[in-house]
Amino acid sequence: MPTFVYMTSCDGCGHCVDICPSDIMHIDTTYRRAYNIEPNMCWECYSCVKACPQNAIDCRGYADFAPLGHSVRALREEEKGTISWKIKFRNGSEKNFVSPIRTTDWGTIQSPADYAAPGAEEYRNQELAHEPDALNIEGGLPALAPEQLKQGVV
C-alpha cells in the first residue's frame, strides 16, 4: 500500500506522523492508530518504518507492479549504530544485510558558533567556515583568474 500499519502493534504514538516527509502518515480518529492516508504519494522511503518504536509499520510493494508475497524489513538501532535488513522474495528465498549508520555518538556535532569567531578581514574573502584547513591541501583555496573565462564554443 506501500506502507501500512498493523492494528495489533501500533499504539498511536505518532512518531511516523512526525517524521513522514510526504505528510501521509496520520492518526485514524476512530482507532487512535496510525495509517497511510495517501499510498500513491508514498516513496517507500521507510522513514516511518525506521522511526516506529513498535515495529508496527511494514511495506507492501505498489500494487501496479509488485506481486504479493514479498517483504523487506528494516531494524534501525541508533545505540548500536546499525541498520539491519531482511529481504524475503515471493518464492521464499531470503537475503540479510547489516550496515553501519553513524561513527560518532548522536548529539555530538558541534554548533558552528562553538568555533572561534572569524576575523573581520575574513568576511569579504571567498573562504568558507573551517577553510582553508578543512580542504587538507597546500596553497589555500583554489581560484580562477577572471581572464580564464571566455565566451565561445569549446
Partner 1 sequence: MGLFSRRKTVFVDSDVLVIGGGMAGCGAVYESRYWGRDLKVVCVEKANIERSGAVAQGLYAINCYMGMQWDENQPEDHVRYARNDLMGLVREDLGYDIARHVDGTVHKFEEWGLPIMKDPETGRYLREGKWQIMIHGESYKPIVAEAARKAATEVYNRIMVTHLLMDKTKPNRVAGAVGFNVRTGDFYVFKAKAVIVSAGGASHIFKPRAVGEGMGRTWYAPWSSASAYALPIQVGAKMTQMENRIVLTRFKDGYGPVGAYFLHLKTYTQNAYGNEYESTWYEHTKSLVGDYVDRHPVPTCLRNHAMLEELKAGRGPIRMVTTEAFQDPHKETVGWENFLGMTIGQAVVWASQNIDPKHINPELTTSEPYVMGSHATCSGAWASGPEDYAPDDYQWGYNRMMTVDGLFGAGDTIGGTAHKFSSGSFTEGRIAGKAAVNYVADLGNEPPQVDEREYRALEKTIFQPMENYAVGRNEIVAGTVSPSYLLPIHGLQRLEKIMDEYVGGISSHYTTNTPLLDRGLELLEMLKEDMNHMGAEDLHQLQRTWELHHRVLASESVTHHTMFREETRWPGYYYRADHPKLDDDNWHCFTLSRYDRESDEWEMEKAPVYHIVD
CB of residue 33 vs partner 1: minimum separation in angstroms?
18
Active site residue 43: yes
CB 56 within 8 A of CB 28: no
CB of residue 54 vs partner 1: minimum separation in angstroms?
18
CA distance 83 to 61: 20
Nearest by Cα to 87 from 68, 74, 104: 74
Which residues between 52 and 111 bind partner 1 (CB under 8 A)?
59, 61-72, 74, 76, 83, 85, 87-91, 93, 95, 97, 99-111
CB of residue 89 vs partner 1: minimum separation in angstroms?
5
Query: Which member of 6, 43, 62, 89 is catalytic?
Result: 43
Candidate residues 42, 56, 57, 80; the one interacting with partner 1 per rule CB under 8 A: 42
CB 5 within 8 A of CB 57: yes
User: For 129, left (φ over 0), alpha (ψ -120 to 50), or beta?
Assistant: beta
Verify binding: residue 30, partner 1, rule CB under 8 A. no
Instruction: Tell me whether residue 8 or residue 96 sits nearer to partner 1 (CB atom).
Output: 96
The label of the residue with cell 518464492 reads: 91
CB neighbour list of residue 31: distance below 8 Å, 6 or more residues apart: 7
Which residues between 115 and 144 bind partner 1 (CB under 8 A)?
115, 117-118, 123-124, 126, 128-131, 134-137, 141-144
- Active-site amino acid positions: 43
